[in-house]
Amino acid sequence: MIDLKEQAGVAMNVRSQLGEPTGDPKVTLGALAFAAELGSLLWRMKYGQDVKRKGLRRATLLLANRVRWSGKFARGKFTGLDRKENRARRSGHEFERSHADIVERFAQRAIVEWVADRCPHCEGRGVFGRSGKPPSAKVIESECPTCHGERSVVVSEERIPFAHNGRAPMVFREYQRCDTCNGRGSIHKEQKPSRDGRQICPHCGGTARLAVDDAERALALGVSIELYRAQWERYFHMVFSMLDKVDGSAADTVRRQMRV
């Protein structure tokens, strides 16, 4: 039986509805409508591949509101201003205020990582090897086996005794262009690709998930890498648990509505 999340993804994609023997897509989408707004938006982005700026913005605001209500953040404290900008604000000077506070930037980065969590190198499999696409053959240039790179071959050889100053035979050779390489000294041939056995993906370590990039997170938050590692790294684990809980709640709601 097809999974509910896969069934919802098929229902949201018009092209896949033609080839997938699933239930009525209207029933699936109607069941998803009973879920919470954040859960419905997450399902559309992750399983339906329907990532739009408006939906991402709405999901960011909903998640940021949940993060603030968790008690770990306060709107007055986390305004997205660094020490220099706070000093300028207190002294009455002009300063450039961020369009979104740091909590919203944090929520948006968390949603992006949660939705696009598959490793792009192994395509979410966690391994390389026989299950992947076979490598194509390579055309390499190698030395001609007939002339050994000399570009010509000997077709006739005669020895005249004592012709070389009367002390040694003289050798007369007749050369001809090599027919194998056509006088180039090298030939092109296909090298059969070597297929290694099943190996763990070195980028994700076999987890099939996108590796964590601390620098990208710090850049998205607008803080230094040291500040991110000191204060923000643990919050990502918290918000991912929150998103998984919202995802599970949406799945329970869809399952109940599908049974009605």
Angle, in degrees to the nearest 10, between helices 53-69 and 37-46: 130
Buried b (16+ CB within 10 A) or exposed e, 6-45: ebbbbbbbeebeeeeebeebeebbebbeebeebbbbbbbb
Average pLDDT over residues 3-16: 67
Whose CA is closest to 80, among 62, 113, 104, 110?
104
pLDDT band at residue 109 using 50, 70 and 90 as cut-offs: very high
pLDDT band at residue 99 using 50, 70 and 90 as cut-offs: very low
pLDDT higher at 108 or 139:
108
**What is the rounded distance in angstroms from the CA atom of residue 228 to the CA atom of residue 218?**
6
Q: What's the pLDDT score for residue 1?
A: 40
Instruction: Please state which of the ranges 84-88, 114-118, 129-133, 134-138 shows the lowest mean pLDDT.
Output: 129-133
Average pLDDT over residues 41-48: 85
**Would you say residue 31 has pLDDT above 80?**
no
Does the global pTM surpass 0.75?
no
| Six-digit token string for 24 | 């009525």
**What is the rounded distance in angstroms from the CA atom of residue 66 to the CA atom of residue 241?**
12
Q: What's the pLDDT score for residue 166?
A: 64
**What is the rounded distance in angstroms from the CA atom of residue 81 to the CA atom of residue 87?**
10
Average pLDDT over residues 201-212: 83
DSSP 18: G
Instruction: Please state which of the ranges 141-145, 203-207, 217-221, 225-229 shows the lowest mean pLDDT.
Output: 203-207
Average pLDDT across the chain, whole number: 78
Give the percent of the chain with pLDDT over 70: 74
Average pLDDT over residues 29-44: 82
Q: What's the pLDDT score for residue 113?
A: 92
pLDDT higher at 49 or 78:
49
**Would you say residue 187 has pLDDT above 80?**
yes
Contact status, residue 41 vs residue 55, Cβ threshold 8 Å: yes
